[in-house]
Amino acid sequence: MVKLFRFLKPYRVQIAFVVGLVFLQTLSELYLPTLMSDIVNTGIMRSDVDYIWKVGRLMLLVALGGTTCSIAAAFLSARTAMGFGKALRARIFAHVEKFSLHEFDKIGTPSLITRNTNDVTQVQMVTMVMMRMMISAPIMCIGGIIMALSKDRGLAWVLAVVLPVLAVIVAFVANRGLPLFRTIQEKIDRINLIVRENLEGIRVIRAFNRTDYERKRFHDANLDLTETSVRVNRLMALLMPVMMLIMNSTTVAIIWFGAVRIDRGTLEIGNMMAFFQYSMQIMMSLLMASMLFVMIPRAQASADRINEVLAVEPEINDPEMPRHETSDPAATDPAMAESESESESEGKINTKSDGERGSESESRSGSGSGGRSISTGLGADGEKGHVEFRDVTFRYHGAEEPALRDVSFCACPGEVVAIIGGTGSGKSTLVSLIPRFYDVGDGCVLVDGVDVREMTQEQLRAKIGFVPQKAVLFSGTVADNIRYGKEDATDDEIRRAAEIAQALDFISEMKDGFDSEIAQGGTNVSGGQRQRLAIARALVRRPEIYVFDDSFSALDFKTDARLRAALKKETAGATVLIVAQRVSTVMSADRIVVLDQGRVVGIGTHRDLLKTCEVYREIVSSQLPEEEIA
Amino acid sequence: MSRDSVSRDGVSRDRMSGGPLAQQRPAGPALPGGFRPGRGGFGGGGHGFGRPVEKARDFKGTLKRLAIYLKPMWPRLAVVVLAAVASTALGVISPKVMGKAITNLGRTFGMRLIGLPAGVDFRYIGHIVLWLAGLYIASSLFNYVMQYTMAGVAQKTVFAMRRDMNDKLARLPLRFFDGRTHGEIMSRMTNDIDNISMTLQQSLGQLITSFVGIIGAIIMMFTISWLLTLICLLTLPLSFFVTATIARLSQRNFAAQQMELGLLNGHVEEMYTGHKIVKAFGHEGKAIDQFSQINERLYNAAWRAQFISGIIFPLMNFMNNIGYVLICVIGGIMVTKRRIELGDITAFIQYQRMFTMPIAQTANIVNILQSTVASAERVFELLDEPEEIPDTAAAATIASPRGEVKFQNVRFSYKKGVPLIENLNMQVRPGQTIAIVGPTGAGKTTLVNLLMRFYEIDGGSITIDGVDIRDLKRGELRRLFGMVLQDTWLFNGTIRDNIAYGREGATDEEIVRAARAAQADHFIRALPDGYNTILNEEASNISQGERQLLTIARAFLADPAILILDEATSSVDTRTEIYIQKAMAELMKGRTSFVIAHRLSTIRNAESILVMNNGSIIETGTHGQLLAKGSLYADLYNSQFAKAHVDDQAV
């Protein structure tokens, strides 16, 4: 928690003012009983009405001054504490935005969200309360003691006895009570767990007729919680009466021993009355402080979680000296590379007419597989959109087995490379290395001949149109969501992207067309529609490299077919990587990479692989009728 | 995954409502009920001063129903009330008694002051001190009795409410659960119940003591001096006015803060869940900009809200001090005029605190009550949901089920006016396999819902072995079925317990046999604790495929006549998939099976295929028949299983 207070630094002056103001306010609060004792000692005892009025006016002024101070303090502390929360929140958010997926996996997305929201709120709230009370409690306590002593030293020993007793009781309750409250929380969690399991498994529970069993399970947990709660609350029931009793005993003691001292003539009656009030103020400030001790551990837990996030160093950082593909030494023949890449880059920046693209792709497909095998060997030839994996090994954080092992292949512009394999074979992992969501362990991933670690993430990702497995949409309009791929996209471009992605039909059917609102998480459109919008988002970017991570799964077959036909035209000049489950999706790819448990077990066309790759044959035979395989 | 989001839903509402707003409770020297350990008080409790409060729609009615819950405990409640009254009444008397001592001491002191020899009357003072001690001890004792008893009352009441809610959930139809989020239901069972429990435990007693305290203090003040009392009461309307004004102001600001906080949380959630996309499209900067904007607005709303709620205590304290000064000055003058005694001033100072503090908290208490009643209303709302049609009394039984299923003119719809299934006729002979095919989201679970009578059909009948399923007890009907769905539901417990879930009272031997049949035995034994391995909350310590094997084992153990299977194994590695296929094939032997089919072999060998789309069954027939028809099924088959001609044109 203390660590986080560095975010309070800009507010040093304000905090100093708050301390000062609270100090003044406390003084005024402490001064009132003294004035009262003056009224009693001088005014009442000597029947001096004028004096009483005079002191009364002074008291009002003092009270007014105190109130003004505390309102000013409230203003400053509200701004300080909320400003602190704001700064902290912003810092976390900006920090987390730098995280790679690795860090997200490590802490967990829901947890990160909680830390950025609830935990900050929790810390901010405690800061607020601390500003309000943590400052005033000690001043009040010490000031009260000084004032009480100045009124009468002889009675001070009453406080010397009572205060430690009070402290011990508070400590005892904190010690015994807090763990008990934790126990209660655990039992509440247990009940929540059972309810959640019951809700999620309701079909299973009913199907297996286990309703009574579940009811008993809940009943036991409920009873357990109730018993503990009763016990804890009964223990806590002691607290208030005991506190009251201690305070009241103090008054009784002050009366008795005060009487003794008055009898001896060493104490004035007004001072005794003031002494009462001081002792009350001291004890109140102690109680207030003790409540803070209840709050702080909880805020501490939040603060720890926040510190943990801030302490994480994002492991993927931009290189200090990013390399451009033009400076690639591999591009030995600049003239040749230029001619190739020029038309491509044009296509990326300005929208190139369809006809041109179409003819290009035709000439490409005409060159056949021979040309491709050459480019495989060449690696970086200056083409835009060239992707190469060189002996890539990758393991997830803390995983025993690498998710990918010695993966090597390459994909060239105009090619469609499909990646197939069972779940857990590393398909999605493989494609998420291209936009550098993760850094490889060994080997390297090259895009346009440059190691992805040597480019800025911005440069790299500008080349890629990524369509994830789980189509994520953001709140905003349909157009906003598509425009996410290219911020300056015109309405026409958006419309075209939607058309290719086969999304135009359902968008036009929506109430406001492209201006229809998408709910957070895209919950108001179907899975298939979400996927099509995610595809449109990638298309509008007109990137060099398309990555489809199992992105057609929620589409019905007709849309699927139409979409892929349209895509073929659109992506003709680009490099396309498709992760797929269905053999039918990958069959016509230029190259198929078969993964099994993180290893490449075959690369080739459908026909080649059927002959050479056992794993591929297995996958095919589970999906296709035999007569089709042959 | 859904577990995650659900738990977040459940928690966040509580945290968010309590979080930033809970510290508004005035932290003054209020003696009664100031300390709320754990939750409440200054902590992250649910009740806060000045925050917008949800109001119950039917306040009175809900309160009455709440009273019904408290009714069985009326003797204890009577004890609570009596103890509260006694404790407060005794507490109210003591300042006056104490005043007598001060008066006496003052008189002695005054006589000394004018030179008269006077000693303190220690017998008199001693007498009073003893009285006071007695009063204080008795008052504390009664207070303890009150809180002690209330602990029982409060907890037993919410125990009953929780129990009733859970029992209710067991009787609600699936329609209810499918229609709302888990978080919504959870929130009623946790946050709302928690809220009620908190109020019963702490605020109810506080309400009584405050009320008695105010009345008592005013009465006692009147017995001392009506003039001084009236002067004190003068500050009251002012206090009310200040409290009400600030409450209104701060509510508006808290509403703004709450709104911005909601937006900010939404943005964070969205950006973090979509982190991959944000990164892929390089929009980190944009995300941060947007965040900063909301954050700035939140800051502006938040500090205003905090400030306004923060000044309520200084202002109340000021009112208090005005009263204090008035008492000192006017009381002092009155003492000089011999209208009252010196001790009366100390008594008055204490009485004044006794009634201003509770008044400062009135707004708070009203809020607490309102939100509690709103919570109770939500609880009762759930308790009032229409239940499943009860089982018929003279229910039929099927002694030795064969598994013959017949659909006759079945009509069904989820929503009135949107028919999904019309006039479905189908006869399944024992041991046959029915394949259900269709694109994702085609509503293949509908059939499961109808067969298991999770939903009631609108017309026609479904019979099993000639008995209408509505004539069977639900338990009896469901015993006939075994279910292996893609959504593998396992609970927090050992693997053994999870398999044993299939049948109550299964022996260890039977469990192992079932696991073996389900091809699960070998992987279970490979786990460090074998069958005693505890599956954690997300069951993340075994793989998805292994989870599926466990649910197959569960079905084996249940040994049903009819099976409902979901073949989808999309998230399973190839090796486990082979095991699952084997296990499922084994399980289907000799049983009537409804299979949500993904495998060609299953589909081809099925006696009948149901083709579903958009929630309804659009075609039925055998593989050959349907192919010959050349409609949706043929398309589907070609796109998924055949060397698709479309692919040649596509990518």
d(CA B313, CA B629): 80
Min Cα–Cα distance to chain B from A342, Å: 23
ipTM: 0.78
DSSP per-residue letters across B498-560: HHHTTSTT--HHHHHHHHHHTT-HHHHHHSTTGGGPEE-TT-TTS-HHHHHHHHHHHHHHH--
Mutation test of the interface with chain A: which of B13, B143, B199, B281, choosing the one with the most A Cβ atoms within 10 A? B281
Task: Report whether A574 contacts A413 (CB < 8 A).
Answer: yes
A-chain CB neighbours of B155 within 8 Å are 226, 229-230, 233
A-chain CB neighbours of B189 within 8 Å are 191-192, 195
Judge: B650–A565 Cβ closer than 8 Å, yes or no. Answer: yes
B-chain CB neighbours of A273 within 8 Å are 102, 345-346
The CA–CA distances, whole Å, from A222 to A215, B159, B162, B197 equal 10, 7, 7, 13
Task: Report whether B387 contacts A211 (CB < 8 A).
Answer: no
**pLDDT score of B180 more than 60:** yes
Judge: B33–A240 Cβ closer than 8 Å, yes or no. Answer: yes
Residue B16: the pLDDT is 32
B-chain CB neighbours of A67 within 8 Å are 314-315, 317-318, 321
Q: Which of the four pLDDT bands, split at 50, 70 and 90, describes residue A322?
A: confident
Judge: B132–A424 Cβ closer than 8 Å, yes or no. Answer: no
User: Looking at chain A, which residue has its C-alpha nearest residue B575?
Assistant: A422
Cβ-Cβ contacts under 8 Å for B80 (sequence gap 6 or more): B146, B149, B150, B153, B204, B205, B208
**Structure tokens, B607:** 């006696």
- Mean pLDDT to the nearest integer, A187-206: 84
Judge: B148–A234 Cβ closer than 8 Å, yes or no. Answer: yes
Judge: B274–A241 Cβ closer than 8 Å, yes or no. Answer: no
- Write the burial class of residue A152 (CB in 10 Å: 0-12 exposed, 13-18 middle, 19+ buried): buried
Tell me B54's DSSP state.
-
Instruction: Name the least confident of A470-474, A522-526, B98-102, B191-195.
Output: A522-526
**pLDDT score of B49 more than 60:** no
CA-wise closest residue to A225 among A200, A201, A193: A193
Q: Which of the four pLDDT bands, split at 50, 70 and 90, describes residue A596?
A: confident
- Mean pLDDT to the nearest integer, A455-481: 86
Residue B293: the pLDDT is 94
Judge: B43–A298 Cβ closer than 8 Å, yes or no. Answer: yes
Instruction: Name the least confident of A279-293, B139-153, B465-479.
Output: A279-293
CATH 3.40.50.300 corresponds to the domain B2-383: no
Residue B71: count other Cβ atoms within 10 Å of its Cβ. 10
**pLDDT score of B43 more than 70:** no
Cβ-Cβ contacts under 8 Å for A223 (sequence gap 6 or more): B159
CA-wise closest residue to B643 among A610, A422, A531, A603: A610
Min Cα–Cα distance to chain A from B454, Å: 8
The CA–CA distances, whole Å, from B7 to A214, A304, B12 equal 20, 21, 8
CA-wise closest residue to A568 among A414, A436, A369: A414
**pLDDT score of B8 more than 70:** no
Mutation test of the interface with chain B: which of A121, A396, A452, A487, choosing the one with the most B Cβ atoms within 10 A? A121
Is A46 in a helix, a strand, or coil? coil
Q: Which of the four pLDDT bands, split at 50, 70 and 90, describes residue B19?
A: very low
pLDDT in tens, B124-160: 999 999 999 999 999 999 999 999 999 999 999 999 9
**Nearest CB neighbour to B639, from listed A71, A211, A560:** A560
d(CA B403, CA B382): 37
d(CA A123, CA A296): 9
Task: Report whether A527 contacts B441 (CB < 8 A).
Answer: yes
Q: Which of the four pLDDT bands, split at 50, 70 and 90, describes residue A518?
A: confident
**CA A510, A514, A517 angle in degrees (round to 5)?**
70
A-chain CB neighbours of B454 within 8 Å are 203, 206
d(CA B107, CA B124): 13
Min Cα–Cα distance to chain A from B370, Å: 23
d(CA B272, CA B264): 12
Task: Report whether A542 contacts A384 (CB < 8 A).
Answer: no
Residue B360: the pLDDT is 65
Question: φ, ψ for residue B573 (rounded to 5)?
Answer: -70, 160
**pLDDT score of A332 more than 60:** no
- Mean pLDDT to the nearest integer, A186-190: 86
In chain B, CATH 3.40.50.300 covers: 405-644
Is B282 in a helix, a strand, or coil? coil
Instruction: For the full predicted model, state whether its pTM sits above 0.90.
Output: no
Min Cα–Cα distance to chain A from B520, Å: 19
Cα B423 to chain centroid distance, Å, stands at: 41
Judge: B572–A74 Cβ closer than 8 Å, yes or no. Answer: no
| Bridge pairing between strands A404-411 and B405-412 | unpaired
Residue B17: the pLDDT is 32
Q: Which of the four pLDDT bands, split at 50, 70 and 90, describes residue A225?
A: very high
Residue A297: count other Cβ atoms within 10 Å of its Cβ. 12
**pLDDT score of B208 more than 80:** yes
Residue A68: the pLDDT is 94
Question: φ, ψ for residue A85 (rounded to 5)?
Answer: -60, -40
Q: Which of the four pLDDT bands, split at 50, 70 and 90, describes residue A81?
A: very high
**pLDDT score of A85 more than 90:** yes
Is B445 in a helix, a strand, or coil? helix
Residue A222: the pLDDT is 94
User: Looking at chain B, which residue has its C-alpha nearest residue A629?
Assistant: B643
Min Cα–Cα distance to chain B from A443, Å: 22
Handedness of CA A107, A113, A114, A117 (dihedral sign): positive
Q: A421 or B155: whose pLDDT is higher?
A: B155
The CATH class given to the B405-644 domain equals alpha beta
Instruction: Locate all alpha helices (DSSP H) within A98-210, ordered by sequence.
Output: 101-107, 109-114, 120-129, 136-151, 156-200, 202-207
Instruction: Name the least confident of A118-122, A176-180, A291-295.
Output: A291-295
**Nearest CB neighbour to B288, from listed A94, A457, A587:** A94
Instruction: For residue B84, give the amino acid letter.
Output: A
pLDDT in tens, B225-243: 898 898 888 877 887 788 7
Q: B360 or B484: whose pLDDT is higher?
A: B484
Handedness of CA A179, A182, A188, A192 (dihedral sign): negative
d(CA A474, CA B272): 11
Residue A424: the pLDDT is 65
Long-range contacts of B392-398 (CB under 8 A, 24+ apart): B392/B470, B392/B471, B392/B473, B395/B471, B395/B472, B395/B473, B395/B476, B396/B467, B396/B471, B396/B472, B397/B472, B397/B473, B397/B476, B398/B464, B398/B465, B398/B467, B398/B472, B398/B476, B398/B480
Min Cα–Cα distance to chain B from A103, Å: 11
Mutation test of the interface with chain A: which of B93, B289, B306, B543, choosing the one with the most A Cβ atoms within 10 A? B306
**Structure tokens, A530:** 């979400």
Q: Which of the four pLDDT bands, split at 50, 70 and 90, describes residue B34?
A: very low
d(CA A198, CA B169): 9
Judge: B281–A466 Cβ closer than 8 Å, yes or no. Answer: yes
**Nearest CB neighbour to B570, from listed A44, A423, A597:** A423
Cα A593 to chain centroid distance, Å, stands at: 36
Question: φ, ψ for residue B410 (rounded to 5)?
Answer: -75, 130
Task: Report whether B573 contacts A401 (CB < 8 A).
Answer: no
Question: φ, ψ for residue B142 (rounded to 5)?
Answer: -65, -40
Judge: B155–A129 Cβ closer than 8 Å, yes or no. Answer: no
**Nearest CB neighbour to B132, from listed A201, A252, A568:** A252
Q: Which of the four pLDDT bands, split at 50, 70 and 90, describes residue A379?
A: very low
**Structure tokens, A131:** 């500003």
Q: Which residues pair with B463 in a beta bridge?
A: B406, B468
**Nearest CB neighbour to A226, from listed B132, B159, B274:** B159
Mutation test of the interface with chain B: which of A112, A208, A582, choosing the one with the most B Cβ atoms within 10 A? A208
**Structure tokens, B578:** 């082979």
Instruction: Name the least confident of A171-180, B51-60, B151-160, B544-553.
Output: B51-60
Residue B572: the pLDDT is 59
The CA–CA distances, whole Å, from B569 to B443, B502, B573, B578 equal 18, 21, 9, 10
Judge: A244–B640 Cβ closer than 8 Å, yes or no. Answer: no
pLDDT in tens, B415-446: 777 777 878 888 888 888 888 887 655 566 77
Task: Report whether B650 contacts A564 (CB < 8 A).
Answer: yes
**Nearest CB neighbour to B650, from listed A292, A537, A568:** A568
Residue B132: the pLDDT is 92
Instruction: Name the least confident of A338-342, B84-88, B108-112, B388-392.
Output: A338-342
d(CA A547, CA A545): 7
Q: Which of the four pLDDT bands, split at 50, 70 and 90, describes residue A90?
A: very high
**pLDDT score of B30 more than 60:** no
Residue B440: the pLDDT is 56
Judge: B272–A423 Cβ closer than 8 Å, yes or no. Answer: no
Judge: B276–A207 Cβ closer than 8 Å, yes or no. Answer: no
Judge: B19–A204 Cβ closer than 8 Å, yes or no. Answer: no
- Write the burial class of residue A64 (CB in 10 Å: 0-12 exposed, 13-18 middle, 19+ buried): middle
Q: Looking up tokens 């396309």, which residue turns up?
A: A576
In chain B, CATH 1.20.1560.10 covers: 2-383
The CA–CA distances, whole Å, from A320 to A99, A437, A455, B283, B536 equal 18, 19, 9, 21, 44
Q: B10 or A318: whose pLDDT is higher?
A: A318
When the pLDDT of each residue in chain B is averaged and rounded to a whole number, the result is: 79
d(CA B60, CA A315): 59
pLDDT in tens, B279-310: 888 888 899 999 999 999 999 999 998 898 88
B-chain CB neighbours of A281 within 8 Å are 29
CATH code at A1-152+304-314: 1.20.1560.10
Instruction: For residue A590, give the amino acid letter.
Output: D
Judge: A191–B126 Cβ closer than 8 Å, yes or no. Answer: no
**pLDDT score of A545 more than 60:** yes
CA-wise closest residue to A481 among A526, A540, A524, A547: A540
d(CA A570, CA A500): 8
Residue B270: the pLDDT is 87
Judge: B329–A554 Cβ closer than 8 Å, yes or no. Answer: no
Instruction: For residue A324, give the amino acid letter.
Output: H
